[in-house]
């Protein structure tokens, strides 16, 4: 079946997903929001495996934003509990499956035992190479830029040496390629403070499907859409068709 053996002319190196719609998924079924978050969390494994199968090198998942602290406290506590449960239950399997875990966000905003768990999972999986999974938890794009500026200042880098590369290399994603494709589920058309620096030239794909229902077939549809996009990075279509490199210019100043 075509769906089982998709062929893409190119696959994004880095896919980032705004996993939205857990609440609406639950509501639709007359269940509490937290059940939507549980279903959404269970959904990660299959999507991660499909990404690895298609040769995607990095998957970033937006799990909890700096803005999500303003939700009702039982929902916030529930989401923190789910992260803790996931780390305990899944880390060994992730490791066996060659997944390298990374965290992006403010770790120091989490409880000390949760911080330790995250650090241990990162340390355990650090040499894996099949796929990198960035978990964006307590993540905000603006906070990330504030943290980068602080690190740059603390390093005493002279003003005239500060380039786009300097900022990129002080973000939580330092050393990683920028996302090529940002997927948002549940139909919204906004970034909600996600990877606002790194996604400057990403292709954006939105699907009405709620995150707990976003499966391999949905991922294939997103990758097919990506395959059809002409990435121009400011150049003209003619330049691209004539073979000009379709990549962003990394401006030094």
Residue ranges in contact with ligand IPE by CB under 6 A? 18-24, 62-65, 68, 79, 186, 188, 190, 192
Catalytic residue among 3, 20, 227, 250: 20
Min dist CB 70 to ligand IPE, Å, is 9
> Of the two residues 6 and 36, which places its CB atom closer to Mg ion in the complex?
36
CA gap 140, 142 in Å, rounded: 6
Cβ atoms within 10 Å, residue 190: 11
20 included as an active-site residue:
yes
- What does the block give as tokens for 144? 């990330």
- Secondary-structure percent of the chain, ordered helix, strand, coil, rounded to 5: 50, 15, 40
| Residue nearest Mg ion (C-beta atom) | 20
Cβ atoms within 10 Å, residue 122: 16
> Of the two residues 6 and 40, which places its CB atom closer to Mg ion in the complex?
40
> Of the two residues 64 and 205, which places its CB atom closer to ligand IPE in the complex?
64
* Residue 79 binds which of ligand IPE, Mg ion, none (CB < 5-8 A, kind-dependent): ligand IPE
128 included as an active-site residue:
no
CA distances for 122 relative to 64, 91, 119, 160, 174, angstroms = 18, 9, 5, 35, 15
Residue ranges in contact with Mg ion by CB under 5 A? 20
Give the residue numbers annotated as catalytic, written as ranges.
20, 68
């Amino acid at each position: 079946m075509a769906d089982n053996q998709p062929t893409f002319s190119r696959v994004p190196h880095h896919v980032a997903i705004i996993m939205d719609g857990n609440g609406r998924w639950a509501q639709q079924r007359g269940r509490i929001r937290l059940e939507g978050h549980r279903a959404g969390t269970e959904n990660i494994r299959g999507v991660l495996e499909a990404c690895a199968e298609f040769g995607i090198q990095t998957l970033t998942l937006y799990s909890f934003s700096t803005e999500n602290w303003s939700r009702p406290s039982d929902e916030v506590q529930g989401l923190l509990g789910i992260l803790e449960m996931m780390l305990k239950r899944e880390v060994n399997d992730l490791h066996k499956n060659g997944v390298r875990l990374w965290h992006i966000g403010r770790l120091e905003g989490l409880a000390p035992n949760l911080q330790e768990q995250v650090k241990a999972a990162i340390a355990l999986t650090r040499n894996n190479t099949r796929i990198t999974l960035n978990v964006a938890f307590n993540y905000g794009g603006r906070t990330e830029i504030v943290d980068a500026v602080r690190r740059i200042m603390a390093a005493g880098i002279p003003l005239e040496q500060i380039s786009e590369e300097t900022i990129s290399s002080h973000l939580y994603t330092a050393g990683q390629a920028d996302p090529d494709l940002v997927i948002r589920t549940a139909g919204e058309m906004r970034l909600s403070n996600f990877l606002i620096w790194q996604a400057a030239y990403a292709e954006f794909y939105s699907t009405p499907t709620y995150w707990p229902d976003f499966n391999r077939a949905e991922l294939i549809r997103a990758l097919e859409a990506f395959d059809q996009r002409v990435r121009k990075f400011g150049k003209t279509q003619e330049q691209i068709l004539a073979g000009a490199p379709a990549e962003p210019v990394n401006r030094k100043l």
